[in-house]
Structure 1
Amino acid sequence: MENALAVATLVCGLTAFVSTFWVSAHVISAWAGTAGFGIGLYSQYVSATTPQRSLNIIGMVGAFVGAALGIAHGGFLPHP
């Protein structure tokens, strides 16, 4: 379970970070970043090995940057 959480954190973080390159994808980056940060915090709590913690930190940093830029570009809801 710990490995799956670490990989999920990394995937959400990378998705959130990469989607910030397009301003119109602010909804994806905001939600993926928020989910990745939450999953990463729980994954860090239950992790048992250093490689899991390394993936968690990389994923959480990407998720935080993605969520912050997603919110700055327009937030959680799409613009009409």
Structure 2
Amino acid sequence: MPQTTQTTRPAQRRAPKFARLPLLDADGRPHPLENGLSIATFTLGVIAFLCGLFPGAHVAAAWLGAIGFWGGFYSQYVSATTPERALNIIGIVASFVGVAMGIYHGGFLP
């Protein structure tokens, strides 16, 4: 009787389609919160870095860099897969450079 030897799996929670990123879900399970935090960290880091290149955008660079830097640490803490961690590190470094350039060009206040 093959049906007696099969084990039943618990019902898995299905993530929304926008949260399924096969490149970040290396273990085959969806991680919508972790993926969102990793993408947000990366995005904030890139924007802070680009704003840090322009002296007139020092306020945006400083604030976005600080938010991306500390948010990236939390994202790194809760990350579940190696690709998420790699994206977090790129975002954290870009945020740090962005906030450093923002502070150099004038700081957090206009």
Amino acid in structure 2 at the alignment position of 1:6 = S
Residue of 71, 76, 79 corresponding to 2:108: 76
* Residues in 2 aligned to 1:56 and 1:15: alpha-carbon distance in whole angstroms: 14
CA distance in 2, matches of 1:73, 1:13: 17
TM value normalised by structure 1: 0.96
* Letter in structure 2 aligned against 1:42: Y
Q: 2:66 aligns with which of 34, 39, 53?
A: 34
Measured in 2, the distance between the counterparts of 1:66 and 1:51 equals 22
Letter in 2 for 1:44: Q
- Identity in percent: 59
Q: State the distance in 2 between where 1:62 and 1:26 align.
A: 15
Aligned equivalent of 2:78, options 33, 43, 46: 46
Report the count of equivalent residues: 78
The alignment partner of 1:75 has SS state of: coil
CA distance, structure 2, for counterparts of residue 16 and residue 63 of structure 1: 6
Larger radius of gyration: 2
TM-score of the two chains, using structure 2 as the length reference:
0.70
Runs of at least 5 residues in structure 1 that lack an aligned partner in the other structure: none
The answer to which structure has the higher helix fraction is: 1
Greater relative CO (CA pairs within 8 A, separation 6+): 1
Cα distance in 2, alignment partners of residues 67 and 21 from structure 1: 11
Runs of 4+ in 1 over 6 A off after TM superposition: none
Superposition RMSD in Å: 0.4
Gaps of 5+ in 2: 1-32
